[in-house]
A and B are shown apart, each in its own frame.
Chain A
Amino acid sequence: MSEYIVEMRHITKRFPGIIANNDVSIGIRKGEVYALLGENGAGKSTLMSMLFGMYEPDEGEILIDGKTVTFHSSTDAAACSIGMVHQHFKLVEPFTIAENIVLGVEPVEKRLGVLPWVNIRKANEQISELSKAYGLEVNPTDRIEDVPVSVRQRVEILKMLYRGAEIMIFDEPTAVLTPQEIDFLLQIIDNLRKDGKTIILITHKIAEIKRIADRCAILRQGRLIDVRDVAESSVQDLADLMVGRQVRFTQDKAAPNFRDPVLEVQNLTVRDEHKFEVVKDVSFTVHGGEIFAIAGVSGNGQEEIADAIAGLVKAASGKIILNGKDITGEPVRERCLTGLSYIPEDRNATGTIPDMTLQENLALREYYKEPFSKKGILQHDAFRRYADQLIETYDIRCAQGPDTVLRSMSGGNQQKAIVGREIEEQTSLIIFVQPTRGLDIGAIENIHRQILQERDRGAAILLISLELEEVMMLADTIGVLYRGEMLRIDSAENMTMQEVGRYMMGVREA
């Protein structure tokens, strides 16, 4: 009998252009919480995807209970009692919770002895019982599209339990949760451990590892750096190992210097396509030199506020005033010219045109003005000159210079390009939505520094982030959004992280 329930030996996995895992070997004991620590792109998720059968390793072998196994699909992995909660939940939105849980292992019965059908009522009962047993209360007949993120995560955990998983992989499970929800989740993980399950936790948050994990493997650039007993390692040690250099945990932030109001949002209401009010009667003011952060759990109306200010969605009612001018009904371009720039959440869907070149993407705000075009005719050398300049200033790494197709660049460099393009406009209001999503620590530090620089220049900053640490670190003023309503707006000094977290869950009186 092997000491390890899971062993991965000399695993190497290549993707076009990168080596995601390079000769990684780990062993996990039964009944422990084993953490995989590393930055974005360190190869944690890839490694676990191989354990879960979603990819096959190019080299190396996987052993479960001391026996070599080869997984061609996640079905094979599930047959070895392995389950995984992915970072991006794998849920079918119009399906009910129960339907999602049984998908792939449906309870099929024969109606009248011949007609096969899926007995969903039986599944509902089973799931009710299972959810009670583990303290994961869900209503099996709710549709996924109607339930919040934390419930969706419970559904993913129930999926594993329903399949009788003994080895459970959690990929960045806390990224989308409030502090209170994180507490709840860690409690659940602890219960599962007591129940004899083996837990693998993929994360880049060291605090959580300290709270829950027994051992921790650190990955950097696809290689295994070290395996530590968590109890014997300090937070600073783990952080330095993860990044490969000394990490600074705080940004130097000068005292704010508020100037005149730049953006005034008055009683803004936004409706979605079903006429549902996703933003309800929201009012706030952002001054020059102020970072106003909107905190909230994903899907509570943050993106809609940003889009409404930028003009991408219509305001159902209310007023948006920028630099003293009512821009509520203005088209997007007019708003930009009035002094607005916007770093959107989704780099590829909104922020760039991935199949165009870097120089074209960098000129998206300027292409119609001189010197980029004269009398409707494009001036390609102006595009190139401008791109060269921004590549230099913002340290954008690109293989073919201004002619690089944007899609072929890394996420971090795409983000640099967007941030550079928007900051270069020198507008009085800059909206940042999730500006550091999916970036590594170096890039995050860089963007945080730029946000602070812009504030100190006198720009008004509207920061929308799901990362509560980011909000707490940067904001001068915090507004907490819950189901489209602004529950509280206050100076950042007057609120603790726990307090903000409670508002994020809709508790009005903290």
Chain B
Amino acid sequence: MKKKNIFLARRLTGRYASLWVSVIAILLTIVTASILLLIMGKNPLTAFASFLQGCGFLAKENYGGGSGQLTDMLDFLNYLTPLILASLAFITAFKAGLFNIGISGQMLLAGFTATVLVGYNKALSPFIAKPLVLLIGLIVGGLTGVLVGYLKYRFNIHEVVSTIMINYIISYLTGFFINNYHVDMMTRNSKVCTPEARLTLTNVMIGDMKCKIPLGLIIAILIALLVSFLFRKTVLGFEIKAVGQNRRCSEYSGIRVSRTILISMGLSGAIAGLAGVAYYLGYTNTIIPKSLPSMGYDSISVALLGSGSPIGSIFAAAVVSVFQQGSNYMSSSLGVAKEIASLITGILLLFASCGNYMKYLAGRTMQQTSEIASQGSSRTAPASPESKEAKTK
């Protein structure tokens, strides 16, 4: 037992500590979820296998006409795309010490605006419509982000509170417009957008399988690389990190803190806007009125699980997507409510947020082991004069 502690401690204090935290969090989550499934009388192994089958990582026993493992895989990527973007949005603000809880709202507003302005315009060619959709996502999301940053530095309003308020405002506002002007009477959702504007190509035949191709995935990976570059190599990234870690010292060293906050919130919002269009004009092509996408919150789990690394978040997003996207198949094949996917994500988040404590414990364990090793020498110190005095009394 002792030995194993040291094994873990060494890894948690080493160079890849953050990676190990994520691995441990995932393992703990799998254990917890397994216990939960066992209590419900299900076989955890089958359950986890069916999550993977639902995402095309493992083959299902049988497929319907026109679909196959590749279809599932591409559906999974289609879901993954906005999630990667959303988590990058969270990371960009988080590096500046800001909690952008408003990603849901920024996604919704960007998706709504792009749908209304481009998605319903049948005259546009796809080569104009698709870039336009991305541009609108960037601008609308970015402006919403800037507003939050402005409220933060000008009026000292905590971004968590302001983003939540803005989330609900956006939700009701877009809900009002959808219900009054753009509603599809059959589904009660917004009318679907044109295939020209949609960022996912649908009904593409690969072999005999009907597939969806998420074009946004390329953009998501590109943005991940860009964000990574921003924080590793650029002056702006350095300033954002400085502001996030010590605002007062940043001010002292001449960084214009308010401007940096605006920029990072703006960037965060802009990326969230991209996530929004990738979600509403890609993954789905309709908007449910008055409903904030839960992906905005899942992105926080992803960012935490990827310990704030842009590249790490691609993999973390994949883990979370497996649970979210695979839950339908798991639910139908095992008969467990599909809400368990959110529950597993929540548990994952819980363990991931203990990462610092894990590292702290590991640091302490390492310290203790090194002290035990060095204690022999300190014990043999010569007794000081007064200790002799005390002994004689």
Contact = CB atoms under 8 A, between A and B. Distances in A.
Asked whether the complex places CB atoms of A and B closer than 8 A, the reply is yes
Contact of B235 (A332, A352, A368): A368
A417 to B, nearest CB: 13
Contacts of B238: 360, 367, 378
Interface in A17-39: 17, 19, 22-27
B294 interface: no
Contact of B249 (A333, A336, A350): A350
Given A349-B249, A352-B249, A378-B238, A27 B256 contact: no
Nearest to A421: B253
Given A351-B249, A353-B245, A25 B381 contact: no
A16 interface: yes
Contacts of A336: 254
A348 to B, nearest CB: 8
A224 B245 contact: no
A114 interface: no
Nearest to A374: B235
A7 interface: yes
A23 B383 contact: yes
A223 B384 contact: yes
A342 B253 CA distance: 9
Given A3-B393, A354-B246, A342 B252 contact: yes
B378 interface: yes
B245 A9 contact: no
A351 B378 contact: no
B241 to A, nearest CB: 8
B381 A22 contact: yes
A462 to B, nearest CB: 16
Interface in B150-176: none
B248 interface: yes
Interface in B364-383: 364, 367, 371, 378, 381, 383
B385 A17 contact: no
Nearest to B254: A333
Given A27-B393, A367-B235, A377-B234, A17 B367 contact: yes
B389 interface: yes
Interface in A335-360: 336, 342, 344, 349-356, 360
B378 A22 contact: yes
A225 B371 CA distance: 24
Contacts of B236: 376
Interface in B249-298: 249-256
Contacts of B235: 367-368, 373, 376-378
Contacts, number: 104
B387 interface: yes
Interface in B210-248: 233-236, 238, 241-242, 245-246, 248
Given A3-B393, A19-B378, A25-B390, A350 B248 contact: yes
B390 A27 contact: yes
Interface string A211-237: 000000100000111110000000000
Given A27-B389, A353-B245, A365-B254, A223 B364 contact: no
B386 interface: yes
A192 to B, nearest CB: 24
Interface magnitude class on chain B = 20 to 34
Contacts of B249: 349-353, 364
Contact of A224 (B233, B252, B367, B384): B384
A94 to B, nearest CB: 20
A25 B391 CA distance: 9
Nearest to A349: B248
A342 B389 CA distance: 50
A349 B242 CA distance: 12
A448 interface: no
Nearest to A369: B235
A196 interface: no
Nearest to B366: A16
Contacts of A19: 378
A421 to B, nearest CB: 10
B385 A16 contact: no
- Counting chain A CB atoms within 10 Å of each CB, the highest count among B236, B383, B386 belongs to B386
Given A23-B384, A356-B242, A332 B251 contact: yes
A367 to B, nearest CB: 6
A267 B236 CA distance: 37
Contact of A332 (B246, B252, B381, B385): B252
Contacts of B384: 23-25, 223-226
Interface of B: 233-236, 238, 241-242, 245-246, 248-256, 363-364, 367, 371, 378, 381, 383-387, 389-390, 393
Given A23-B381, A331-B254, A356-B242, 8 more contacts: A27-B390, A223-B381, A310-B252, A312-B252, A333-B254, A349-B249, A368-B235, A378-B234
28 contacts: A4-B393, A9-B387, A9-B390, A22-B381, A24-B387, A25-B386, A25-B390, A26-B386, A26-B390, A27-B389, A225-B384, A227-B389, A312-B252, A331-B254, A331-B256, A332-B252, A332-B253, A332-B254, A333-B256, A344-B252, A352-B249, A353-B250, A355-B245, A360-B238, A364-B242, A364-B253, A368-B235, A378-B234
Nearest 8 Cβ contacts at the A-B interface: A333-B254, A25-B387, A224-B384, A364-B253, A16-B367, A353-B246, A332-B254, A25-B390
